[in-house]
């Protein structure tokens, strides 16, 4: 990708290199396991022989940490390092803000950009303790995206899903969850999930994740139209990443078989299809996975 012309965002709260401190609880309630949870379950199986169900259960476990043991790890927004990763994140976040500000304005609304928080290993969030084992995730309670940037290295080395556009897709996907929160979609879905069976709740989770994929594609379409930032091989990188983080692909790699009713993010085919939908149309209204029932 050529990022030179992309606008930069200062909505970054860089906590890398700071003393780690936990919150009172693990990710739960107002938060969600991020895009990396199933990936890391697969890695744990391949590298350490750990049962994927054990890993996923651990990711959902509440981690109690006493307040007296906590240190402050809050950095001022706009004060970041100047390394290549920071510049990359500022450019991607800045371009998503530009796209969604314009889209909201076109509909008579006002977009409030999220804060992106790069961190190391563990950090405090309004949704509990943010841990690198959960992968990147969005916390609607504080409207922040949390990202341990070592996840990009894991994508490349352990999943074969590397590349700058693949990494940008991950960030844009999490921004997609923020857009859903701003639109009121996530609140409606969460309310509905509390009233249905586990199987139906999983299906709703799939729909919201696939819509975030589609929103990521809309970002790429709009940014390409304005800046022509994509280069040869970039789209293939993004589609490969979407494929490699499909529930069926990860379950097959981790346990040798697939359990469709347990899907929470969507199959490889669904994820690539909905990302492509946004990429081709550039129209967020074409991302209605709920009406389409993701079929």
pLDDT in tens, 90-138: 999 999 999 999 999 999 999 999 999 999 999 999 999 888 888 899 9
pLDDT of residue 54: 41
273 pLDDT tier (thresholds 50, 70, 90): very high
Tell me 78's DSSP state: T
pLDDT averaged over the chain?
A: 81
Q: Is the pLDDT of residue 85 over 90?
A: yes
Sign of the alpha-carbon torsion through 195, 196, 197, 199: negative
Tell me which DSSP letter residue 19 carries.
P
The closest alpha carbon to 125, from 32, 229, 6, belongs to 32
pLDDT computed for residue 271 by the predictor: 92
Kindly calculate the radius of gyration of the chain based on its CA atoms and give it in whole angstroms. 18
For the cut 60, the answer to whether the pLDDT of residue 79 exceeds it is no
pLDDT above 90 (res 61): no
Q: What is the pLDDT of residue 185?
A: 94
Beta-sheet pairing, 128-131 with 122-125: antiparallel
Task: Tell me how far apart the alpha carbons of residues 182 and 204 are, in angstroms, rounded to a whole number.
Answer: 18
Place of tokens 């500022």: 90
Distance spanning both ends of the chain, measured CA to CA: 32
């Amino acid at each position: 990708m050529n990022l030179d012309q992309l606008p930069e965002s200062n909505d970054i709260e860089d906590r890398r290199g700071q003393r780690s401190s936990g919150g009172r609880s693990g990710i739960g309630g107002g938060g969600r396991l991020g895009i990396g949870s199933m990936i890391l379950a697969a890695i744990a199986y391949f590298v350490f022989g750990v049962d994927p169900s054990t890993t996923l259960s651990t990711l959902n476990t509440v981690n109690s940490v006493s307040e007296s043991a906590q240190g402050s790890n809050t950095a001022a927004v706009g004060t970041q390092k100047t390394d290549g990763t920071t510049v990359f994140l500022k450019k991607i976040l800045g371009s998503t803000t530009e796209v969604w500000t314009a889209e909201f304005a076109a509909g008579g609304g006002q977009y409030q950009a999220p804060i992106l928080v790069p961190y190391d290993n563990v950090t405090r969030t309004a949704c509990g303790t943010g841990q690198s084992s959960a992968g990147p995730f969005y916390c609607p309670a504080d409207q922040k995206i949390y990202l341990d940037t070592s996840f990009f290295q894991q994508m490349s080395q352990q999943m074969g899903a590397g590349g700058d556009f693949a990494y940008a897709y991950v960030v844009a996907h999490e921004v997609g969850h923020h857009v859903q929160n701003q639109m009121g979609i996530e609140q409606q879905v969460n309310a509905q999930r509390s009233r249905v069976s586990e199987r139906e709740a999983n299906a709703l989770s799939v729909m919201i994740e696939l819509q975030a994929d589609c929103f990521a594609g809309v970002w790429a379409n709009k940014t390409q139209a304005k800046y022509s930032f994509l280069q040869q091989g970039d789209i293939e990188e993004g589609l490969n990443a979407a494929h490699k983080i499909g529930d069926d692909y990860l379950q097959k790699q981790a346990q040798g078989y697939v359990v469709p009713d347990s899907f929470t993010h969507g199959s490889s085919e669904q994820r690539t299809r909905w990302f492509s939908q946004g990429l081709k149309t550039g129209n967020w209204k074409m991302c209605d996975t709920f009406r389409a029932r993701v079929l």
